[in-house]
């Protein structure tokens, strides 16, 4: 076993330039090069999980802090729009995995077709998101102090001016008021917005490998970019799988 790998190593340099221009000299085989890239991609995906994970934990904390306001704010989200986007992203993951398979087989026309379909799904997702966001903007369901919706069942806290704050003394029970609604929409826009930027970045890299696939660059021995973009795209789908029920379904 070890003899074989030594053989491959010492003679690999002659074979590499003949067989695949993508083979870099510090890797013994194309397979080793592929696996190494993939481990790097998985490490990046873990950082993505932790990035969104922090926001999910924060969302959970604030949901526990403002249970009444969060449940009420949830009802402002349109369930069918979220469900439609879920289906669109699941289908795009399916077309992506077919594109990877086509790349593995070196099938150029199928690669181009499935990558294009994936980009179309990503665009549909963003169009639905655009309609969702415009509706939120119109109603004043905005993050933090931009929140201006007046129809909530609990009154919003008014921030006192510095002069008022100095004059106020802590006597008597305070008027119950809340910023829970604005907090909900801060998390909503932060998380779906960050996810939306990931979709945009996904469209950019998908377009890049679509162009490369169109030049016939990928085949059974070299399709690393397609595989890695595929992993990224599935992770974006995976994050939405958690965003959808937590925002649109728990009401």
Partner 1 sequence: MSMHTESVSTHAAHEEHEHGGVAVYSKTLIALLILTAITVFAAGFDFGQGNVVIALVIATIKASLVALFFMHLKWDKPVNAIIAMAGFLFLGIFLMFCLLDFDSRNNFLPQNMKPTMVPLAPGTAPAGGVIRVNPSAEGEGGEKK
Q: Which residues bind partner 1 (CB under 8 A)?
A: 7-8, 11-12, 14-15, 18-19, 29-31, 35, 38-39, 42-43, 45-46, 49-50, 53-54, 57, 60-61, 64-65, 67, 79, 83, 86-87, 90-91, 93-94, 96-98, 101, 104-105, 159-160, 162, 164-166, 168-170, 172-174, 220-221, 230-231, 234-235, 237-238, 241-242, 244-246, 249-251
The distance of Cα 118 from the centroid of its chain, to the nearest Å, equals 14
Least distance from C-beta 187 to partner 1, angstroms? 15
Q: Which is nearer to partner 1, 138 or 161 (CB)?
A: 161
**Whole-number Å distance between alpha carbons of 44 and 223:** 19
Cβ 204 to partner 1 shortest distance, Å? 21
In 3D space, the residue among 229, 218, 205 whose CA is nearest the CA of residue 97 turns out to be 229
> Closest CB to partner 1 among 138 and 153?
153
CB of 211 to partner 1, least distance (A): 23
CB of 137 to partner 1, least distance (A): 26
- Of 25 and 159, CB closest to partner 1: 159
Rounded CA gap, 79 and 141, in Å? 16
CA dihedral 73, 78, 80, 84 (to 10 degrees): -100
Give ∠ CA 69-165-67 in degrees, rounded to 5. Answer: 10
Q: 9 vs 137, which CB is nearer to partner 1?
A: 9
Residue 139 or 164 having the CB closest to partner 1: 164
What's the closest the beta carbon of residue 234 comes to partner 1, in angstroms? 5
Q: CA of 3: how far to CAs of 7, 25, 52, 54, in Å?
A: 6, 20, 45, 47
- What is the C-alpha to C-alpha distance for residues 177 and 196, in angstroms, rounded to an integer? 32
Query: Could you give the CA distance from residue 106 to residue 153 in angstroms, rounded to a whole number?
Result: 59
The residue (of 138 and 172) whose beta carbon lies closer to partner 1 is: 172
- A 10 A CB-CB count for 147 gives 19
CB of 138 to partner 1, least distance (A): 25
User: Which of 128, 38, 49 is CA-nearest to residue 92?
Assistant: 128
């Amino acid at each position: 076993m070890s003899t074989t790998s030594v053989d491959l190593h010492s003679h690999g340099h002659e074979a590499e330039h003949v067989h695949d221009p993508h083979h870099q000299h510090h890797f013994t085989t194309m397979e080793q090069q592929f696996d190494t890239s993939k481990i790097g991609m998985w490490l990046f995906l873990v950082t993505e999980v932790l990035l969104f994970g922090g926001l999910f934990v924060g969302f959970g904390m604030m949901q526990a802090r403002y249970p009444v306001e969060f449940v009420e704010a949830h009802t402002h989200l349109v369930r069918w729009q979220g469900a439609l986007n879920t289906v669109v992203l699941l289908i795009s993951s399916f077309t992506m995995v077919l594109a990877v398979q086509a790349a593995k087989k070196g099938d150029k026309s199928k690669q181009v077709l499935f990558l294009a379909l994936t980009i179309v799904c990503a665009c549909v997702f963003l169009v639905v998101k655009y309609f969702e966001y415009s509706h939120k903007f119109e109603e004043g369901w905005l993050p933090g102090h931009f929140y201006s919706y007046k129809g909530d069942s609990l009154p919003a806290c008014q921030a006192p001016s510095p002069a008022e704050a100095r004059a106020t003394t802590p006597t008597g029970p305070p008027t119950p008021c809340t910023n829970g609604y604005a907090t909900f929409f801060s998390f909503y826009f932060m998380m779906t917005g960050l996810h939306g930027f990931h979709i945009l970045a996904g469209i950019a890299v998908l377009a890049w490998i679509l162009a490369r696939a169109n030049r016939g660059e990928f085949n059974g021995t070299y399709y690393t970019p397609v595989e890695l973009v595929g992993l990224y795209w599935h992770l974006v789908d995976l994050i939405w799988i958690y965003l959808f029920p937590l925002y649109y379904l728990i009401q």
